[in-house]
Every structure is written in C-alpha cells, then in structure tokens.
C-alpha cells in the first residue's frame, strides 16, 4: 500500500515549515510569503481531500437540475430555443463523461450562460425572470457550499456562522 495522500501532504508541510522556510533569506519576503501560502494550500487540501469528490458530485447534481429547469421554462425565439437545446445536450454529455465531474459542471454552466444571453435577445420577459430567479436560488446554495469548502482560508467574515462540511453535505 502506498502512503496516503494526507500523510504525504503532512510530510510536505513539515519540510516546508521546519526546513525550507527557515532557510529562506530574511530579505526575501516574497519567497517567504509564497512558501507560507504553499503551506496554507497544502493544509487546506488536506482538510478538503476526503470530501472534495462529494462536493463535486453534489454540485454536478445541482447543476443538472438547474439546467433541466431553465431549459424547460425558457420561452422565446430561435436563439432561446436553440440555446435551451444546447443545455439539454450538455446535460446528456455530462452523463457520459464518467468521473470528470468538473468538466461536466463546466460545460453545463457554460451552456446555461449562453442560454441567458440568448434569452436576452429573444426570450419572453416572464420566462427570463423565472430563469433569473432559479439561477439566483441555485447559486445561493452552491456559493454556500463553496464557502464551507474554503472556510479555512479566513476570507469569509461570516465563517463562524457557516455550517460544517458534514452538515452541508
């Protein structure tokens, strides 16, 4: 059995923290800051690695649901209907992409972006408003998951009130 990814990351953090960082010239503040950020990245990856696949699976499922919803409610002219068909095709293709969930998420989101732009050209106003509301609701939930996954970066002023990774999954 090979060493676990967590143990390998932990060894790298140790090497960087206790051996490499102290050896960096004290005048070289940029190199020091970069090395400290690498330590922070590796530590964060260590915290995310067990759950990353679950987060991707959940996001793909949510994006597929969003794509199905918005393509079904999109009403308008030829630009809108063509773009709605592209969303449906992207959802089908994602199902065949196997484990590359991130590529599936990317291609469906791209198709939805294009649908919104197409709706701007010849979509019906009421349908456009429904699509916008669905996208906002979806993104609220997705951005909350993203903030939970990256809470350890300390960027989030509300990080103390965010749910845990386990709770959000």
- Shortest Cβ distance from residue 15 to other proteins (Å)? 16
- Shortest Cβ distance from residue 114 to other proteins (Å)? 7
Distance CA 127, CA 132 (A): 9
Residues that bind other proteins (CB under 8 A): 27-30, 32-34, 37-38, 40-41, 66, 79, 82-83, 102, 105-106, 109-110, 112-114, 116-118, 120-121, 128, 131-132, 135-136, 138-140, 143-144, 146-147, 149-150, 153-157
Which CB, 126 or 144, lies closer to other proteins? Answer: 144
- Shortest Cβ distance from residue 2 to other proteins (Å)? 26
- Shortest Cβ distance from residue 28 to other proteins (Å)? 7
- CA distances in angstroms from 149 to 69, 110, 165, listed in the order given: 26, 23, 7
Give the SS3 label for residue 76. strand
Distance of CA 121 to the CA centre of its chain: 28
Nearest in space to 119 (alpha carbons), one of 131, 107, 108? 131
């Amino acid at each position: 059995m090979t060493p676990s990814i967590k143990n390998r990351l932990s060894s790298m953090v140790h090497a960087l923290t206790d051996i490499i960082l102290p050896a960096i010239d004290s005048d070289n503040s940029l190199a020091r800051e970069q090395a400290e950020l690498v330590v922070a990245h590796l530590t964060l990856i260590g915290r995310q690695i067990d759950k990353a696949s679950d987060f991707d699976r959940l996001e793909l499922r949510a994006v597929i649901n969003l794509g199905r919803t918005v393509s079904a409610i999109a009403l308008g002219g030829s630009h809108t209907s063509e773009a709605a068909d592209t969303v449906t095709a992207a959802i089908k293709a994602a199902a065949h992409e196997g484990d590359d969930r991130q590529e599936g998420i990317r291609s469906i989101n791209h198709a939805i972006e294009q649908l919104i732009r197409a709706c701007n050209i010849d979509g019906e106003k009421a349908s456009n408003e429904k699509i916008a509301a669905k996208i906002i609701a979806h993104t609220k939930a997705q951005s909350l998951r993203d903030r939970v996954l990256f809470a350890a970066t300390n960027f989030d002023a509300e990080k103390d009130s965010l749910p845990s990774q386990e709770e959000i999954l």
